[in-house]
């Protein structure tokens, strides 16, 4: 009797379908997956950060320098035995470590050596990706910090790999190993077997002992630039069939602070903010992230820099009412202070933001000194910590804005010293400094400093010395400013303002204008400096993208064309042109009228036409 005789013959048994149908949860012979209900589909959903994890080195965003170095090393056969990957969260350290493990053990029908070209899946790639390869060990140092665990791990290093080319040890967050564990690892790193490779990843490179770093090849993974993150988010949105406004993607990219994973997680959350098929707006994303409107926070920053504490508090409370977090508002103010300082030193082109916002911050930087911006940065840094720790964050922000507005109007040490030496008050000479009432610039200083100002001793006020300087000019209109420039005989500035400035709005201390084509790059800075010297106040001058009226030069040219067109249609002129063929009008000028004797009628002279 053979073995086959022991197998019962079930050939006549009815098929499973006849007894009650096939199992609905079992896949068919062609690999078709069973149909899932809504709950099952939700449970099987893969988040975007995992679904779009890079599968090749070409998919690594913003790490071109590291990929180029690795390609050269692999192509030349100079592959290190240990790699140290460091960088902030979400830049791709663990992903790069897994890609390196695949590249070291890559093998296909035609390739039998390490390579970074992972476009075609190799023999070991699938098992390495799924984390079940016997020769690739991935562990978290946070859960295996003891020296006994490290020794147990390293005991297997001396054994050859079972199927792959190398035994690869991936240790994440390696900085959390204990000192004894590092010492146990040190000997293996110093004299590693030829079949072993180590890949370390850490966010705290300073906590890794120097003895370990000196035995590894270090790669610093850079923060990814916002525009690169936006391109990645656009690709994902298109693949997911989601519509998100471009401004909203930029908000996510800036909030991610260089982390691609954080940006992808925020995009995952943003997509579900709108109904399927609808567009996710930037305002929705701003509310989701608890951010304030950036244009409004720049206005808040301008008010602080002008010393306007009252309007600044009102602007903040408006932002707070719309859901902006107080600590986020302080972070935005710090960002604007940094942007104004960079624009002052390098130029608006160095700022990664819309052009109009960059120009507004550049105008603030041109209006104040670098020392003032530096002092305000320190105050904002301190205020940010206070806002985060205060029991009432909104109240702490109000107090911080008052302090910042007051400090923005104070002169720097060098400026105060010059004023004291000249016998002038050390406080700001602007009109707002004469009173500190709630209706005025609440941040203005009303007290003088040093011997040059009014000092109070035992209830007696010393008389303030009379200043021999000329009266401070007060400008209420754009024409007042032009008249002042002409009075000061600054011909170059006068010509540039008349030719290139298309005024949008004018109020004491602030000018908005549209720049005409060919405007000099330093026009706003020159105008700010002259007006501060002539009026004693700080001016914020911003060039907007459009909406300005005609410049004075453009208006004059238009009026000249209108006058010329009117003259050319005059019957007398037409008769003259007809009588003298070939004649042309080469110029138009108005003759001065002679003053008529008192009591006699005067007759207006017409325009003199030359032919």
| Extended beta strands in 473-539, E state | 501-507, 510-515
* Under 8 Å between Cβ of 404 and 376: yes
Inform me whether the pLDDT recorded for 317 exceeds 60: yes
The pLDDT of 513-523, averaged and rounded, is 80
Instruction: State whether 361 and 435 are in the same domain.
Output: yes
Instruction: State whether 309 and 248 are in the same domain.
Output: no
Instruction: State whether 264 and 305 are in the same domain.
Output: no
Helix, strand or coil, per DSSP, at residue 45: coil
Q: Please indicate, yes or no, if residue 170 is contained in any of the structural domains.
A: yes
Distance of alpha carbon 202 from the chain centroid: 26
Inform me whether the pLDDT recorded for 227 exceeds 60: yes
Instruction: State whether 270 and 301 are in the same domain.
Output: no
Q: What is the pLDDT of residue 610?
A: 45
Instruction: State whether 361 and 497 are in the same domain.
Output: no
* Under 8 Å between Cβ of 137 and 162: no
Q: Please indicate, yes or no, if residue 20 is contained in any of the structural domains.
A: no
Q: Buried b vs exposed e over 199-211: b needs ≥16 C-beta within 10 Å? A: bbbbeebeebeee
Q: Please indicate, yes or no, if residue 468 is contained in any of the structural domains.
A: no
Q: Say how many domains are in the chain.
A: 4
Instruction: State whether 529 and 441 are in the same domain.
Output: no
Q: What is the CATH number of the domain that holds 538?
A: 3.30.300
Q: Residue 351 corresponds to which tokens in the numbers above?
A: 């700022």
Q: What is the CATH number of the domain that holds 276?
A: 1.10.8.60
Q: Percent of the chain at pLDDT above 90?
A: 19
The pLDDT of 270-297, averaged and rounded, is 82
User: What is the Cα–Cα distance from 409 to 530, expressed in whole angstroms?
Assistant: 18
Q: Which helix (H) or strand (E) is 380 found in, with range? A: helix 370-389
Instruction: State whether 311 and 365 are in the same domain.
Output: yes
- From 501, 513, 479, 505, select the one nearest 553 (Cα to Cα): 501
Instruction: State whether 58 and 173 are in the same domain.
Output: yes
User: What is the Cα–Cα distance from 96 to 369, expressed in whole angstroms?
Assistant: 45
Q: Please indicate, yes or no, if residue 203 is contained in any of the structural domains.
A: yes
The pLDDT of 31-44, averaged and rounded, is 50
Distance of alpha carbon 419 from the chain centroid: 38
CA-CA distances (angstroms) from residue 590 to 20, 243, 561? 108, 63, 14
Inform me whether the pLDDT recorded for 200 exceeds 90: yes
Place of tokens 């902006």: 324
Q: What is the pLDDT of residue 606?
A: 45
129 pLDDT tier (thresholds 50, 70, 90):
confident
Q: What is the mean pLDDT of the chain?
A: 77
Largest CA-CA distance found in the chain, in angstroms, rounded: 150
- From 592, 593, 585, select the one nearest 566 (Cα to Cα): 585
CA-CA distances (angstroms) from residue 128 to 77, 97, 199, 503? 22, 11, 14, 65
Inform me whether the pLDDT recorded for 182 exceeds 70: yes
Residues with Cβ within 8 Å of 470's Cβ and at least 6 positions away in sequence, in order, are: none
CB atoms within 10 A of CB 136: 26
Q: Please indicate, yes or no, if residue 270 is contained in any of the structural domains.
A: yes
Q: Which residues pair with 220 in a beta bridge?
A: 86
334-359 pLDDT, tens per residue? 999 999 999 888 887 777 776 777 88
Instruction: State whether 430 and 342 are in the same domain.
Output: yes
CB atoms within 10 A of CB 267: 28
CB atoms within 10 A of CB 321: 8
Which range of residues forms the domain containing residue 148? 51-220
Residue finishing a domain among 173, 194, 220: 220
Q: Please indicate, yes or no, if residue 576 is contained in any of the structural domains.
A: no
- Measured in degrees and rounded to the nearest 5, phi and psi for residue 504 equal -105, -55
User: What is the Cα–Cα distance from 343 to 351, expressed in whole angstroms?
Assistant: 7
Instruction: State whether 397 and 256 are in the same domain.
Output: no
527-545 pLDDT, tens per residue? 888 888 888 777 888 777 6
Q: Please indicate, yes or no, if residue 555 is contained in any of the structural domains.
A: no
| Higher-scoring residue by pLDDT: 217, 152 | 217
Instruction: State whether 69 and 117 are in the same domain.
Output: yes
- From 387, 405, 407, select the one nearest 397 (Cα to Cα): 387
The pLDDT of 438-444, averaged and rounded, is 42
Q: Residue 478 corresponds to which tokens in the numbers above?
A: 């754009």
| Extended beta strands in 100-241, E state | 136-140, 167-172, 196-202, 217-220
Residue finishing a domain among 234, 265, 289: 289
- Measured CA angle at 550 (ends 549, 552), to 5 deg: 130
User: What is the Cα–Cα distance from 290 to 312, expressed in whole angstroms?
Assistant: 20
Q: What is the pLDDT of residue 43?
A: 56
Residue finishing a domain among 530, 549, 568: 549
The pLDDT of 405-431, averaged and rounded, is 63
Q: Please indicate, yes or no, if residue 483 is contained in any of the structural domains.
A: yes
Q: What is the pLDDT of residue 609?
A: 46
Q: What is the CATH number of the domain that holds 165?
A: 3.40.50.300
* Under 8 Å between Cβ of 67 and 60: yes
Instruction: State whether 263 and 304 are in the same domain.
Output: no
Q: What is the CATH number of the domain that holds 358?
A: 1.20.272.10
- Measured in degrees and rounded to the nearest 5, phi and psi for residue 84 equal -120, 115
């Amino acid at each position: 009797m053979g073995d086959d005789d022991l197998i019962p013959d079930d050939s006549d048994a009815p098929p499973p379908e006849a007894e009650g149908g096939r199992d609905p949860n079992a896949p068919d012979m062609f690999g078709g997956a069973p149909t899932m209900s809504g709950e099952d589909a939700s449970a099987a959903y893969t988040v975007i950060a995992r679904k779009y994890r890079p599968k090749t080195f070409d998919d690594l965003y913003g790490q071109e320098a590291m990929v180029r170095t690795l390609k050269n090393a692999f192509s030349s056969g100079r592959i290190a035995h240990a790699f140290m990957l460091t960088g902030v969260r979400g830049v791709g350290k663990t992903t790069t470590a897994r890609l390196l493990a695949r590249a070291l053990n890559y093998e296909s029908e035609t390739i039998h050596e390490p390579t970074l070209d992972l476009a075609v899946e190799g023999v070991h790639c699938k098992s390495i990706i799924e984390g079940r390869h016997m020769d690739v060990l991935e562990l978290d140092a946070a859960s295996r910090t003891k020296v006994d665990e490290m020794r147990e791990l390293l005991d297997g290093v001396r054994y050859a790999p079972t199927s792959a080319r190398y035994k690869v040890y991936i240790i994440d967050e390696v900085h959390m190993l204990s000192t004894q564990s590092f010492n146990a690892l040190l000997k293996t790193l110093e004299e590693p077997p030829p079949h072993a490779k180590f890949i370390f990843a850490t966010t705290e490179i300073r906590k890794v002992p120097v003895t370990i770093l000196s035995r590894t090849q270090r790669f610093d993974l850079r923060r990814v630039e916002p525009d690169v993150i936006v391109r990645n988010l656009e690709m994902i949105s298109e693949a997911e069939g989601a519509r998100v406004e471009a401004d909203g993607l930029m908000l996510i990219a800036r909030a991610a602070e260089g982390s691609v994973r954080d940006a992808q997680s925020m995009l995952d959350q943003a997509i579900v903010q709108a109904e399927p098929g609808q567009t996710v707006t930037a305002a929705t994303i701003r509310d989701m992230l608890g951010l304030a409107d950036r244009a409004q926070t720049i206005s808040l920053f301008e008010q602080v820099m002008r010393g306007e504490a009252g309007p600044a508090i009102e602007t903040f409370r408006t932002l707070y009412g719309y859901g902006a977090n107080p600590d986020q508002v302080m972070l935005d103010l710090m960002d604007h202070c940094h942007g104004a300082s960079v624009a002052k030193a390098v130029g608006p082109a160095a700022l990664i933001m819309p052009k109009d916002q960059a120009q507004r911050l550049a105008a603030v930087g041109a209006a104040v000194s670098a020392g003032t911006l530096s002092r305000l940065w320190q105050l904002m840094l301190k205020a940010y910590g206070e806002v985060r720790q205060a029991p009432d964050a909104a109240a702490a922000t109000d107090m911080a804005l008052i302090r910042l507005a007051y400090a923005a109007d104070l002169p720097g040490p060098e400026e105060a010293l010059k004023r004291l030496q000249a016998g002038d008050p050390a406080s700001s000479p602007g009109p707002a400094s004469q009173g500190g009432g709630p209706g005025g610039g609440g941040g203005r200083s009303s007290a003088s400093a040093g011997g040059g100002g009014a000092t109070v001793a035992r209830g007696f006020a010393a008389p303030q010395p009379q200043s021999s300087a000329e009266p401070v000019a007060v400008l209420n209109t754009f024409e007042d400013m032009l008249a002042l420039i002409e009075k000061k005989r600054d011909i170059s500035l006068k010509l540039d303002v008349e030719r290139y400035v298309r005024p949008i709005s004018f109020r004491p201390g602030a000018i908005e204008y549209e720049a005409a084509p060919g405007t000099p790059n330093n026009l706003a800075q020159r105008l700010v400096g002259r007006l501060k010297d002539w009026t004693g106040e700080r001016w914020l001058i911003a060039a907007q993208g459009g909406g300005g009226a005609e410049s004075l030069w453009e208006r004059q040219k238009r009026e000249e064309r209108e006058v010329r067109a009117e003259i050319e249609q005059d019957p007398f002129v037409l008769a003259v042109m007809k009588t003298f063929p070939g004649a042309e009008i080469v110029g138009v000028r108005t003759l001065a009228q002679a003053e008529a004797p008192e009591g006699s009628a005067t007759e207006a002279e017409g325009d003199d036409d030359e032919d």
